[in-house]
Amino acid sequence: MVQSQMGSLDVARPVSGPRSSPPKARFTRAILGAVLALVGLGISSALGDIHGHALHQKFYAVFGATGFFVFAALAVHSASVTLGSVVTARAGRSGGGAVKVISGLVGYTVMVFVGLGLLAVPVQHLLVGGALTGVIVGIAAQQALGNVFAGLVLLLARPFTLDEPVRVRSGALGGTFEGVIRGISLTYVTIETEDGVVNVPNSVMLAIGVGPGPHRSPTEELAVVRTGPPPAPLSEPLGRPRRPASHLTRRVLERRYGHRSR
């Protein structure tokens, strides 16, 4: 009967999704893509000339630039994913995702400018405009960029890791408090304390004193199992005084034989 009921039930089986490549394979792919991109760069620079009169010079220029774009994109993608996975293992998903996006953005920007240079596209005006824009954005977002660079320093130096209890000493934060590191991103460090979760800017965490804290999490220390009062023993009815055994025996005899026992 049990087997028939179990057979009628639909058992949910885990569906295996696409497996991601291990970090070592991605790193090898990034190195191979970078080497092939340099080969394409050399072919386009040494043998090609997009404005040359000979057809083979134009062919080498376009062929080398195309190879550079393809293999450089492969190298940048593999390198950014590898960096993101490494940082995720150290600082959590938020930090790993931010490092992946920033490294990919920088890599693709360099790739585009180098590729346009191979095709003899004038990029001087773009570089000048980008430099001016960078200066303006840097001045306007000085505090945010300071947190980003401080986050990179924290990720590289690793003064603390995820789920590590720490003791923070800072006058700006109100003295000394203890907590557990719950997240490290490019802008904030998330610390779980007895009073709740605190997001501390990376620049502040880089400037204050951080030491080892208690071995247990604050939530584990504050967790108290609340139970009710112990149950009353079964032999003693609630709200009634305990009667002697002789009185109970007389009551049983009265019910059974219909007369009082003496």
- The encoded tokens of residue 167 equal 């003791």
Burial of 5 per CB tally in 10 Å (0-12, 13-18, 19+): exposed
- Residue 95 makes CB contacts below 8 A (sequence gap 6+) with 87, 88, 151, 155, 183, 184, 185, 186
Mind listing the pLDDT tens digit for each residue in 202-212?
Answer: 888 888 888 78
- Note the CATH architecture for domain 153-222: Roll (2.30)
pTM: 0.57
Rounded mean pLDDT, 104-119:
88
* Helices and strands counted in the chain (H then E): 9, 5
Give the highest mean pLDDT range of 69-83, 115-129, 187-201, 236-250. Answer: 69-83
Q: What is the pLDDT of residue 83?
A: 87
* Domain layout of the chain by residue ranges: 23-137, 153-222
Q: What is the pLDDT of residue 69?
A: 92
CB 178 within 8 A of CB 167: yes
Q: Are strands 196-201 and 188-193 parallel, antiparallel or unpaired?
A: antiparallel
Residue among 208, 131, 213, 127 nearest 174 (CA): 208
Mind listing the pLDDT tens digit for each residue in 204-255?
Answer: 888 888 878 766 544 444 443 344 444 555 554 545 555 555 555 566 556 6
